[in-house]
Structures are given as structure tokens and as C-alpha cells.
Amino acid sequence: MKLSLTFAAAAALAAGSAFAAGGQRAALLDTLAAQAAKETPGFAGFSAERGRALYLGPHAGGKAETNACAACHTQTPTATGRHYKTGRDIPPMAVSATPKRFTDPAEVEKRFERDCPNVLGRACTAQEKGDFITYLSGQ
């Protein structure tokens, strides 16, 4: 299991011009890691693999039409998503395709607060949030 920081730093380097964005993403992951360390016993860093499972689902507990993050964000994170109900386009979640992803903490938190209950029927834990961002930072 790799540490989140490695992922974020690698993504930032690869993106070049997106270096500042990479820094903001890394800072957000640090905050989440501190929270996860308190919340989750035995927390040992974020996992892209767990993030992928969260993203792709399927999950029980939420709404039937949205049993995975992929229901709106598509199975392929580098592809443009589509809101399952309104039909509106959603820019890709993969950081390689949308370098600004996960850089505005308030925006990110607001969406986790809305999207997780729709899919899981409950809020996401800090570990799940970090896993999710870690997975998409590597996509």
C-alpha cells in the first residue's frame, strides 16, 4: 500500500503546469489522513485499490439507480460523466483528465456530503474519501 503523498506528488510532477493543484491536493490528503488516523483503528495510509472498489461498486444501502459513484462519474474515470437523472455532463474525475480535481476543500467536502448518502446510504469516512482521491489521482 503506497502512501497518498507519493501519488499526489507523482501526479503533480507528471502534470507539470498543474504543480500548484498537486500541492493543494496533497494538503487535502494530509488533512484527511490526520482525520482517518483518529477515526479508523489501524489506519495505515490510503489505498488506490480500496478507492477503486468504492468508485465502481456496486453498493447496497443507497438509491438503486445510483449504486456506485460510477453511476454518474462513469466506469472510466478519464471519460466525461453524466448525471444519471438530469443528463448533464460531468467533467472526468481522473486528475490526469481534469487537473483541477480535489483542489478546493469546501467544494470536495460538499460533494462527498451529498454523493456518499446517495450511493452508500451514509456519509463516507475520512479513509474512504482519501482512498477515493488517491485512486483518481493515479488515473
Q: What are phi and psi of 19, to 5 degrees?
A: -60, -45
Among residue numbers 51 through 80, which ones bind ligand HEC (CB under 6 A)? 66, 69, 71-73
Quote the least distance from Cβ 18 to other proteins, whole Å.
21
Interactions with other proteins, residue window 64-83 (CB under 8 A): 82-83
Residue 59 binding other proteins, by CB under 8 A: no
Reduce the secondary structure of the chain to three states and give it as a string.
Answer: CCCHHHHHHHHHHHHCCCHHHHHHHHHHHHHHHHHHHHHCCCCCCCCHHHHHHHHHCCCCCCCHHHCCCHHHHCCCCCCCEECCCCCCEECCCCCCCCCCCCCCHHHHHHHHHHHHHHHHCCCCCHHHHHHHHHHHHCC
Among 13, 14, 63, 121, binds other proteins (CB under 8 A): 63
* By CB under 6 A, residue 126 contacts ligand HEC: no
- Does the protein bind other proteins through residue 57 (CB under 8 A)? no
Confirm or reject binding of residue 112 to ligand HEC (CB under 6 A).
Answer: yes
| Entry field: residues in the chain | 139
Return the residue of 99, 132, 137, 139 that touches ligand HEC, per CB under 6 A: 132
Question: By the criterion CB under 6 A, which residues form the site for ligand HEC?
Answer: 66, 69, 71-73, 83-86, 90-91, 101-102, 104, 107-108, 111-112, 114-116, 118-120, 124, 132
